[in-house]
Amino acid sequence: MKNDAWTVIVNLDFSPCEQTIAKLRDDLFYIQKFKTPLAPVHELNHIEYILQKLEEEINALSEMLPRLDKRRDV
């Protein structure tokens, strides 16, 4: 029996997700500036909560992924 090993390299780019969340957050802050809100405050708070959770999930996933060893030629 051989001891074969596979190395799988996956390059995950989270920047589109991060850019989308940043844009949504900017839009949310813009909406929150109105004196007469376009949406009820509790809905805006819920959207803000969801954006925060998305950011946390992306960061947690990013932290879990192994880092490329710069000393290797991989």
Return the ∠ at Cα 62 (arms to 60 and 44), rounded to 5°: 55
Residue position matching structure tokens 């991060």: 18
Q: Does the pLDDT of residue 74 top 60, yes or no?
A: no
Closest Cα to residue 67, out of 16, 17, 11?
11
Long-range contacts made by residues 59-62, C-beta under 8 angstroms, separation at least 24?
A: 61/14, 62/12, 62/14
Segment 5-62, tens digit of pLDDT: 887 777 788 899 999 999 999 988 888 887 666 778 888 889 999 999 999 999 998 8
Q: What is the pLDDT of residue 23?
A: 94
Q: What is the pTM of this model?
A: 0.62
Q: Does the pLDDT of residue 70 top 70, yes or no?
A: no
Annotated domain spans of the chain: 15-64
- At 4, the pLDDT band (50, 70, 90 cuts) reads confident
